[in-house]
Structure 1
């Protein structure tokens, strides 16, 4: 594998959502000011055909972007280093967390007491990046190191919402063990459950519902989790939600034990 290109910034391209974003206003386009934007769509648009994955050795049009879709992580390559040491040394703490480069991340954290919760320009901490890219060992390490899972980015993005977007159920469980707000909402009115439904992540939806995620919350687009599941034709997710509603209904019918 070719060495990873150094990156000055990170672009969050969730999979499989990266190929499904279809906001009528085309949110995938770069912002007018040239800054990268994290786009989490909650419109029930028809998924676009998945384009073949570009060659990881080819530089992106922007010249210095590290994209999850073109960069294998430690988890994917069996903890084998894919970048030259000189390249790894040039990466920021946020980039190392996103790629799951634990050894280099640990060295970075030893340089300062406040680095573990250091936000980048959009307010993302290393924990948020690791959660977004499914780096469970990195998430576990950062939590043990003292990373705060309650921190929200500038547009209220959370580690839990981004982990739910990617369908990383194990990471969702780790974060919920730290008593994060399961119904936290962001700029889009989206909650972890809405994003899990939008991504058709059945197990993640089950886990969130089991922990008490609110089924009645609407995104700014006006869709509830059930609305999204029906509109997108996600039958398994719809069935999970229906079964959960049935259980709630049945539990309310059980008479209270006499004192």
Structure 2
């Protein structure tokens, strides 16, 4: 699994955007990811979970065999060889969307599996696919703090300002998760700082509301760089 930009993650929560996966929370061991309601301090409107159960990991029952896992679950687990095997049998699964509209690429991005992300992109996976609630691979990677995956996706021409059903952009989710390196990477590639979520938060306003002071400094420095008078 790819290293996360997690040195500044607070409260032990990983964040995933929107209604990415309202699956059963009976198995929440490991890399379970949550968006928690924070009243007016949050740009998001609902609590959601993306658990290892949907990824194919069962904590309380016999582990699933590889043959029983979908390509989406294999991508989420980082199993490049099995993903390749599925593609060799049926190339159409490369862009197949599950019941939430997630592609294998989106699952790999959500769980920080960079090797799978790079493999799928090399095979022609569309990085701009939008799921049912307008989630994207870039939004999921930004929410999870996976800066190397963000870089890979940006090299493949993704829409850096894509927004989900909450109006949340990749930059807003990176700010929400306090992922400094992700914020820096997105700003360096031209992410729009003026876009607000549906609840009215800009990236700067959200950083202030959540007390992410280092993120505030990054945003302030970027603004100064943008508007520094030319000599």
What aligned pairs does 1:172-187 form with structure 2 within 5 A after superposition? 172-187=150-165
CA distance in 2, matches of 1:159, 1:29: 14
1:65 lines up with 2:53 in the alignment: yes
CA contact (8 A) 2:72 2:103 kept: yes
Match of 1:236 in 2: 214
Match of 1:124 in 2: 102
RMSD: 3.1
CA contact (8 A) 1:183 1:192 kept: yes
CA distance in 2, matches of 1:238, 1:70: 40
TM-score (norm 2): 0.77
Q: Paired residue for 1:203, among 181, 185, 191?
A: 181
Tell me the alpha carbon deviations over residues 189-244 of structure 1, each in whole angstroms, 9 at most, x when there is no partner: 00000000000000000000011100011101111100111111111101000000
In structure 1, list runs of 5 or more residues that go unmatched: 1-14, 22-26, 32-37, 46-59, 72-82
Match of 1:221 in 2: 199
Q: CA deviation at 1:112?
A: 1.0
Match of 1:194 in 2: 172
164 and 30 in structure 1: CA distance in 2 versus 1, 3 angstrom threshold: closer
Q: CA deviation at 1:16?
A: 7.3
1:158 lines up with 2:136 in the alignment: yes
Match of 2:86 in 1: 108
Secondary structure of the structure 1 residue equivalent to 2:115: helix
CA contact (8 A) 2:180 2:214 kept: yes
Tell me the alpha carbon deviations over residues 173-204 of structure 1, each in whole angstroms, 9 at most, x when there is no partner: 11111111100011010000000000000000
Instruction: Select the structure of larger CA radius of gyration.
Output: 1
Larger helix proportion of the pair: 2
